[in-house]
Structure 1
């Protein structure tokens, strides 16, 4: 397939050499709800922190990051810190989390981390996490819905859908791809996350249209589907196998109404880090819409920054010639956009950071000039010495 072959071409070299450490760290991405003892920090965040240290000392092997994107990435945590200062309450833990989010984007996009290693690590982690979740399904805190190391079924469904799309291009054999898709579809089904199921369907439509149809037809089709998902009443999904969700959907509707009021308190700059929470009958709930959560924390300013970052990255991918496009990375960004409608914390998470970083690295790599073919007859191609001297060295 064109997408698979593109990863092997010299001019689309996947950054630095494949390092087992990078594979291992990205395989820990599924440990979203497993805290490191004594630190109270999720294991996947610790893994990403360690791989950032690795990237800081890794040689630069990739293309230059698009100048239009790097300032947008940095602007996300910077603006969150500034609006927190303006609101008089700086939640440093939250700001550090978003700083890690930005660091992951830049490190992956820079080419200091091999995207094949990243993808294979994600594939290993997904299989391990889904198997873990399936085995522990009877002990799930959400009756009948898989949580396992993901913590929450909706967060788990989002992570599975997006990371699966990011992992598939790194797998070179068809049986590996088909196997991963089957396992991940089973994982999404076990989470019973309705929004994730819709996201997977939209991602599948995009992959098919991206391979065999026009990009404009794909954008029109997916745009209509996303509009439908964002406007359909929540109680429309509380039927059939989801009939028992009527109570939770009613609560979701109450939370959504309060979210709309909350974001209007300070619409331009937001309310600062860690404020995307709603109190209902004495209980605190996180926002269910990641878009509204972003507006609550950062206002329209932060919302526009993040929307521009996602939009530019996505458009840069789909503008590539058909033979160079990577529909899986494109689908991952679409999965983020769809899941953010109803699944709370999505836009500023590590899976989204990885998706953005891989998209940027891949798109920039397509602009590298083709590698010159090796010259035949030179036994010491790495030397810069004149031919006579190279022969003398070989003879010696």
Structure 2
């Protein structure tokens, strides 16, 4: 008599179900460092994104939803707006090449749509992205990755604030795929520790808000969730003030003074920016002839580069799809974790200049568009070879 086949478990099952090309390329999505030896700056993650998009074009979509259609229409309008504004705006000295920025933006949005529709297996992307972040930390403390911010964890990811944001988001997205409460807790503790090691106070504040949301408010009813989101937003200033001068952050007076100078210059630039914006690559300020800095405010970045149209589309799509404010029930845990990751984006965007339209944002939006995210869900089986 035939014996029943025991399902593969643990590592064996993971290897059987995970597309290794997508997993390995997703490891590189965590790397913001440029590829060496090229005449132009090409971040490693965009090369990985090109490979993933090329693979995805050979597959058919597996999911569709009203949120997906809204996302595609809204972001097509955004790209068109950026192209028109950038092409017609007066040249600005010191601005980066808007054509290159537009290409990277279009590539990012195509990647997001392919991940959301199932052309790319989203769980494999999240696994690879999380592994890439952990590997970056290991290489950093082994002395094999850049130490551009002294003792603060950065490595190949980028600056410490970008690293903090990706560690916070990567941990929450990985938690969203797990069914075991023990694994969720261990994952959250690990990535919270890694976020702390980046020294980014803004992302720590955002992650704290996300954890409070996830543990206290995410399972509440609609009205309670809305009121909680508003309350957490107003409480954020208190949290950030209390993180500003604690422990290893006690000597940040010089950094804070610089940020204040940049904020003043940003306000001045906003006052002279036309309503339609100044085009891609113009979200920077100069403190002197030799000091040029990008904005430390993603809302201001959207406003300066694409005007009120860009600001409304980016923030509106992020909040509407990521938080689902009119959803009557809490939904599965994966959706609650995705909402927490969206809160990290909306919170950190107030103090960081590159939050929206980045790889972290793209992965959160892809998860938000999907109807379900679970390793045990049949719709997440590996694509056939």
- Match of 1:221, SS? helix
Corresponding residue pairs, total: 351
For residues 1-396 of structure 1, the aligned pairs below 5 Å read 18-38=18-38, 40-64=41-65, 66=67, 67-89=69-91, 91-136=98-143, 140-174=147-181, 176-229=183-236, 237-282=244-289, 283-316=291-324, 319=327, 321-324=329-332, 326-362=335-371
Offset at 1:65? 5.2
- Match of 1:60, SS? coil
Number of the residue aligned with 1:3: none
CA distance in 2: counterparts of 1:148 and 1:258, whole angstroms: 29
CA distance in 2: counterparts of 1:318 and 1:28, whole angstroms: 36
Offset at 1:77? 1.9
CA distance in 2: counterparts of 1:234 and 1:209, whole angstroms: 23
TM-score relative to the length of structure 2? 0.83
CA distance in 1: counterparts of 2:55 and 2:217, whole angstroms: 35
CA RMSD after TM alignment: 2.7
Report if aligned partners of 1:171, 1:177 keep a CA contact under 8 Å in 2. Answer: yes
CA distance in 2: counterparts of 1:113 and 1:356, whole angstroms: 14
Offset at 1:212? 4.1
Number of the residue aligned with 1:378: none
- Aligned pair in 2 of structure 1 residues 138, 347: CA closer, same or farther (>3 Å)? closer
Report if aligned partners of 2:202, 2:240 keep a CA contact under 8 Å in 1. Answer: no
Q: Does 325-334 or 314-323 show the bigger shift?
A: 314-323
For residues 70-109 of structure 1, what are the alpha-carbon distances to aligned partners after superposition, in whole Å with 9 as ceiling and x for unaligned? 2112222221111101204462111111112211221122
CA distance in 2: counterparts of 1:327 and 1:233, whole angstroms: 24
CA distance in 2: counterparts of 1:273 and 1:309, whole angstroms: 19
Offset at 1:202? 0.5
- Aligned pair in 2 of structure 1 residues 297, 142: CA closer, same or farther (>3 Å)? same
TM-score relative to the length of structure 1? 0.81
CA distance in 1: counterparts of 2:128 and 2:242, whole angstroms: 38
Report if aligned partners of 1:267, 1:295 keep a CA contact under 8 Å in 2. Answer: no
Number of the residue aligned with 1:376: none
- Structure 1 runs of 4+ off > 6 angstroms? 231-236
Offset at 1:224? 2.5
For residues 320-342 of structure 1, what are the alpha-carbon distances to aligned partners after superposition, in whole Å with 9 as ceiling and x for unaligned? 63343511111111111111111
Larger Rg: 1
